[in-house]
Structure 1
Amino acid sequence: MKKVFLLLTALLGAAHILFAQSPGRTNIDSLPQIEISSQADIHFLSPEPIQYADISSHSITGDMPVKNLLRIKLVPDSLRHLQNDCTSLGVITIVGESFIAQYHLVFTKSIGQQLPTAIAIQPEQCRPLEFPGITLTTPEMKSHAMDILHRGKKSDIRKAKAYGLTAILNHVYTVGDHVFLDVSFQNKTNLAYDIDELRFKIEDKKITKATNVQSLEIKPEWQLYQQPSFKREYHNIYVFKKVTFPDNKILNVELSEKQVSGRTLTLQIKYGDLLKADNL
């Protein structure tokens, strides 16, 4: 009889564990717990641009000052309803390009140096997630871009010169449906170059007076550096979703200076240059 009782106890315990840890299910008591008070805002630092965030409590408000930073704080009017420590404030959900992370928020009246003000989202706190439309995440693009820089310059595919400036298409790479343009600019004058705009436009290869100019501007999905000016050389990687255009068109890379009489430079990239891209 004693053996039967022990066996039933073991089976019930196993069933409880299996139920509590069922695949695909996350319980609130298993989430990392974050204490929040009226003393300080909390900033969540994401390794990727945040695509979506949800705060389940009306006692907390939040915003995103930049793409990979979520700031939350207690709503002042809610403080009179929060009298006890460890009052549950529900769950905050943060979704990046390739992950979902959740935290259990609890109110505390504690005042001291141990309260969190910034929380970096750790890999062990995330679950993988495929976000619609994203085939290459920002960390992946940065990793590929740094790999391109470390490979160095091999040969100039295209080059343009004007006003003591040189624009060079060093290399073209592809990763899946993304195109990486390795472009550098050189300044041989003694005047620093303050960048006004760098634009990428698909335009007619040959333009006559009787022809209406057709121009389609495309914007990089991502670029490695955001540099406002350069003294001698500027080297950057620009990432685009798959780009196609007919043979009678050309991709113009236009660099313009901030000054009224600013120097401008246009680098022309042929479609054949993209077709000869190397795989990373």
Structure 2
Amino acid sequence: MSLFFMRRQVFLVPAFLFSLFFLAFDSLAQQRAINTLNNLPRIEITGGISLHIVSPEPIQKVDVSSHALVGDLLESNVLRLKIVPDSVYLLPRTPDALVVVTIIGETFIAQYQLCFSPPGLGLTPTLLNISPEDCQPLEVSGVGLSTPAMKVHALSLLKNRSTSAIRKAGGYGFRTRLNQVYSLGDYIFLDLSFENTTGLRYSIDELRFKIEDKKITKATNVQSVEIVPVWQLYPLTSFKRNYRNVFVFKKMTFPENKLLNIELTEKQISGRTITLKVKYGDILKADTF
């Protein structure tokens, strides 16, 4: 039985943990070219108790070799497995016939063997973190830069607090600025910050990125192309004074007669709206990691 799950946002883990994970991951995975059933990590599972498996990156696919088990994603990197009620009899109870669970992430594949444990013993695990020694490297089609890698680089940008603004705009007691532009392969990182100088909390409604004409006249049709980040460091939320975030885009190009307009709108009928205009030259001058 194969289960396919869509990706969603993941919660934050400190950057150094991701670095340690992938350093260990590269070295350990090279030592194990073939997995056999007897070599797979063994995990016990009990009826009525869910097993939660935490991945270091978003889970792409899951395969479970028994109809007695079902799984779902609580978060993009948290898999929940449990025994289907009245299906315990389908689970093998001998060491030579175990259930295999395969988990595919953005850059790795991991497998575990599950065995049934009777209730009442109190030894059944409820949480499992996928460790580097359980993984093998994997190149998934369509995944250019992994989520953990984007997070590591985005957090490194936030360490730089003394940058002068590349572009800035303001109004209604509110200021926004483009702090840094970085590129990595086919990806562009935009470091944006927002400052609220009023006593009213700013509740973000939308943050939109649109490529539009520099000059708009009544005689021409306005051409606007909206681009969507492939990833962002923090979710959009409300803030009292300051808010800073990093947005990642696939490589973009646009002519000199157009601008990248970053439009922030506030909730409420009379919400404040601020537009930051970024020139293509600002993108071309991006630093590299």
Structure 1 counterpart of 2:248: 239
CA contact (8 A) 1:181 1:238 kept: yes
- Residues 154-233 of structure 1: matches in 2 within 5 Å? 154-233=163-242
Structure-1 separation of matches of 2:71 and 2:118: 20
Aligned-pair CA distance for 1:242: 0.6
Letter in 1 for 2:66: S
Structure-1 separation of matches of 2:182 and 2:68: 49
Q: Find 1:249's aligned residue among 215, 237, 258.
A: 258
Aligned to 1:26, the other structure's residue is in SS state coil
Alignment of 1:116 onto 2:128: no
Structure 2 counterpart of 1:272: 281
TM-score, reference length from structure 2: 0.85
Aligned to 2:87, the other structure's residue is in SS state helix
Aligned-pair CA distance for 1:77: 3.1
CA contact (8 A) 1:86 1:107 kept: no
Letter in 2 for 1:226: P
Comparing 72-81 with 165-174, greater Cα deviation is found at 72-81
Structure 1 counterpart of 2:157: 148
Structure-1 separation of matches of 2:288 and 2:88: 56
Structure-2 separation of matches of 1:89 and 1:71: 19
Aligned-pair CA distance for 1:135: 2.0
Comparing 265-274 with 88-97, greater Cα deviation is found at 88-97
Comparing 208-217 with 185-194, greater Cα deviation is found at 208-217
Structure-2 separation of matches of 1:146 and 1:51: 24
CA contact (8 A) 2:66 2:91 kept: no
Aligned-pair CA distance for 1:176: 1.1
Larger Rg: 1
Instruction: Give the alignment's Cα RMSD to 1 decimal.
Output: 1.7
Aligned to 1:151, the other structure's residue is in SS state coil
- For residues 240-280 of structure 1, give each alpha carbon's deviation from its aligned partner in whole angstroms, at most 9, with x where no partner exists: 11111111111111101111100010001111100000011
Alignment of 1:41 onto 2:50: yes
CA contact (8 A) 2:264 2:275 kept: yes
CA contact (8 A) 2:103 2:109 kept: yes
Q: Find 2:84's aligned residue among 72, 75, 90.
A: 75
Aligned positions, number: 259
Aligned-pair CA distance for 1:85: 6.5
- For residues 129-186 of structure 1, give each alpha carbon's deviation from its aligned partner in whole angstroms, at most 9, with x where no partner exists: 1111222111111111111111223211101111111110111011111101011011
Percent of pairs with identical residues: 56
Structure-2 separation of matches of 1:176 and 1:83: 48
Unmatched runs of 5 consecutive residues or more in structure 2: 1-30
TM-score, reference length from structure 1: 0.88
Aligned-pair CA distance for 1:45: 0.3
Unmatched runs of 5 consecutive residues or more in structure 1: 1-21
Aligned-pair CA distance for 1:89: 4.0
Letter in 2 for 1:261: S
Structure-1 separation of matches of 2:275 and 2:88: 59
Aligned-pair CA distance for 1:76: 1.3
Structure-2 separation of matches of 1:44 and 1:144: 26
CA contact (8 A) 1:88 1:107 kept: no
Specify whether residues 78 and 205 from structure 1 end up closer, same or farther in structure 2 by C-alpha distance, changes over 3 A only: same
Letter in 1 for 2:232: Q
- Residues 89-128 of structure 1: matches in 2 within 5 Å? 89-128=98-137
Structure 2 counterpart of 1:32: 41
Letter in 2 for 1:165: F
Structure-2 separation of matches of 1:170 and 1:83: 58
CA contact (8 A) 1:256 1:262 kept: yes
Letter in 2 for 1:38: G
